[in-house]
Structure 1
């Protein structure tokens, strides 16, 4: 019997997780990625307990595949270095069963890609359209080859052309008012063991130890959309050079990078939830489905959840379940994922507004409120995120 065929559009974390999950359910999978080759460089990604549990259900041990870096503590600081709140990793592990880890994105995508047959991956293959989504779709590609499919997984990113094509009335993206810089540096002599984010007035600076011993750095600032400087390294020095240690020392390491090694992106989320996460035999996941601000570290984690739940609900690839099995599974996927992902999107926007406060009095009141919150209550506030992953029955 001919296997069902899934075409996954996009070889990011969500798309590759979906491909692996479907492959392990005996689907024939083709991943189309517009980039000519896998990324060799890039920033880091934090994998929270919910994402680690989701990966575990499809047999992917992220810590083994991409390396492990468990921070000693996690928390928020003021620009003068004073801690506003922090939690020991041991407490997180005791509460959630597994600690969060942080890995380089290329290491994670490489580990996922290695779990697929080599012929499943088609780099340099941009998808231009999906036709006939009410029946079995035909995927059109820029290289001139059409791919018939039983399912299309739209993992084509925050600017998703497939989302725009099939939900033309949706308002699209919303600029949340901040730009972000990201870089990875090698600074083992600094012996940084804490994952931290520092809040100033309308600016933030984050430090995350990665599994390969390097440090993933990010910074945000409230600026008009499209604001760019001639040299992002000098801009970061100007904004954060007087902040607490070890930020000045980390900026010294950023100064040694090429300007192109410092990534800058304006931050957007989806202006409103999609009416559903599927259309015909197309399913959207990750940023394409519910782009969210990175303030909770859940963008990639929710994409992983999406992918695992989608594959779990779909029939096996051997053709069982009848011709209506795929559309019914996609409706169940929308029902299972839409409310959870939108709640995370809204929560991420609200947290971002707190971090972006510029008024000195309002920022001081914010910091006081954070410091006054007992650590156990702050930890409990993460339960719905870290314990929220469930496979539907």
Structure 2
């Protein structure tokens, strides 16, 4: 279809990628976000090859390779520091045809913003409702502004207003069961090799670093905790030192090197797979469509796949906008449901929901040569629309 006008609500990773894909398709695009200043949630993201392929297809390959980190190997350690397994990611890269690029969320957002044109993003616009007619859809904002278009894309995140319109009812967020601290630190050999994703595991907890651009590590800590524990940055180091007492020296070094004021502390939630991703001329993408825990590293990649699939469906059918959106839903619904449930299953194993399964996983890691881990990552990547 030609000459469409698209309104994208949400200027995060999914919204901006969707806007770029729509622009590349030749559509008129308006982008709105509720915030006064764009600040990405979280410090870094493990952008696997399926997400990178979407960016390549949109002409952003050189940019993402420049800001992404050189992740060439992966290792698991016991909390004591005993090496369980270390392996090169070269077989995975050869299998899927593209290196992964762990990246700072700020760098990624700035790259996408530059590509879409910052002048095309209108901030301080909180969407409060969506209306539809037979030949259009309208996003209505708190300040009274109405954005009328052929299509409204709901990229308004895990607390999505537009999701409620699509489903006809609110969605309950579900606490997955653990708290995640994350941030950026200068890359250094006393934490990990500069080209490696290193993960320390024990007690249902994790401590990890992976390389991102500009000689930095993206780090995270996971600890199973009750919902509602307090977030006090001035106590982050003390809190983490207690949870990771006796763990290996690189973990202790990481705790001392992190900047509490630039560290995020998040209670991890997901949402049950949705019964619908579209309604008429309104489509959901990203966290609005599939709010998942980060345990498969696929949240951002799935948002990018959504963006590509939605634009592609609009370009390759001429029956109607509604038909194109139904085809988008059919292409994505099972895929993203599998990611949400797969991440939840992995989270349960990683974070000792059933301790005996977690201990079995630790034992298996000690016998792992990398093939089983890379095969699982490869299957997830190759099941997407970019192959």
Give a deviation string over 1:28-64, Cα, whole Å, max 9, x none. Answer: 1111111112228950111111111122122121654
Which moved further from structure 2: 154-163 or 374-383? 374-383
Q: CA deviation at 1:164?
A: 2.4
Q: CA deviation at 1:135?
A: 4.4
Q: Report the counterpart of residue 157 of structure 2 in structure 1.
A: 157
CA separation in 1, counterparts of 2:265 and 2:27?
Answer: 37
Q: Report the counterpart of residue 32 of structure 1 in structure 2.
A: 32
Contact 2:77 2:85 in 1 (8 A): yes
Q: Is 1:111 matched up with 2:115?
A: no
Distance 1:99 1:225, change over 3 A: same
Q: Report the counterpart of residue 312 of structure 1 in structure 2.
A: 312
Q: Report the counterpart of residue 286 of structure 2 in structure 1.
A: 286
Q: Is 1:244 matched up with 2:239?
A: no
Q: Report the counterpart of residue 263 of structure 2 in structure 1.
A: 262
CA separation in 1, counterparts of 2:326 and 2:295?
Answer: 29
Which moved further from structure 2: 136-145 or 300-309? 136-145
CA separation in 1, counterparts of 2:133 and 2:168?
Answer: 15
Distance 1:185 1:290, change over 3 A: same
Q: Report the counterpart of residue 201 of structure 1 in structure 2.
A: 203
Correspondent of 2:237 among 233, 236, 246: 233
Distance 1:94 1:206, change over 3 A: same
Q: Report the counterpart of residue 47 of structure 1 in structure 2.
A: 47
Contact 2:183 2:220 in 1 (8 A): yes
CA-atom RMSD, angstroms?
A: 2.4
Q: Report the counterpart of residue 216 of structure 1 in structure 2.
A: 218
Distance 1:172 1:85, change over 3 A: farther
Q: Is 1:183 matched up with 2:183?
A: yes
CA separation in 1, counterparts of 2:263 and 2:342?
Answer: 28
CA separation in 2, counterparts of 1:51 and 1:280?
Answer: 27
Q: Report the counterpart of residue 83 of structure 2 in structure 1.
A: 83
Give a deviation string over 1:144-175, Cα, whole Å, max 9, x none. Answer: 21110111111111111211243244653211
Q: Report the counterpart of residue 193 of structure 2 in structure 1.
A: 192
Secondary structure of 1:212's partner? Answer: coil
Which moved further from structure 2: 261-270 or 127-136? 127-136
Which moved further from structure 2: 176-185 or 358-367? 358-367
TM-score, normalised with respect to structure 2 = 0.91
Q: Report the counterpart of residue 93 of structure 1 in structure 2.
A: 93
Contact 1:11 1:33 in 2 (8 A): yes
Q: CA deviation at 1:13?
A: 0.6
Q: Report the counterpart of residue 132 of structure 1 in structure 2.
A: 132
Q: Report the counterpart of residue 376 of structure 1 in structure 2.
A: 371
Give ranges in structure 2 of 5+ residues lacking alignment.
none
Distance 1:62 1:340, change over 3 A: farther
CA separation in 1, counterparts of 2:62 and 2:45?
Answer: 12
Which moved further from structure 2: 170-179 or 183-192? 183-192
Give a deviation string over 1:295-323, Cα, whole Å, max 9, x none. Answer: 1100001111111111111138xxx93xx
CA separation in 2, counterparts of 1:309 and 1:27?
Answer: 15
Number of residue-to-residue matches in the alignment: 383
Contact 2:35 2:124 in 1 (8 A): yes
Q: Report the counterpart of residue 13 of structure 1 in structure 2.
A: 13
Contact 2:166 2:277 in 1 (8 A): no
Q: CA deviation at 1:283?
A: 0.6
Which moved further from structure 2: 60-69 or 292-301? 60-69
TM-score, normalised with respect to structure 1 = 0.90
Distance 1:232 1:165, change over 3 A: farther
CA separation in 2, counterparts of 1:227 and 1:348?
Answer: 23
Distance 1:384 1:10, change over 3 A: same
Contact 1:52 1:62 in 2 (8 A): no
Q: Report the counterpart of residue 341 of structure 2 in structure 1.
A: 346
Give ranges in structure 1 of 5+ residues lacking alignment.
none
Correspondent of 1:366 among 352, 357, 361: 361
Q: Report the counterpart of residue 390 of structure 1 in structure 2.
A: 385
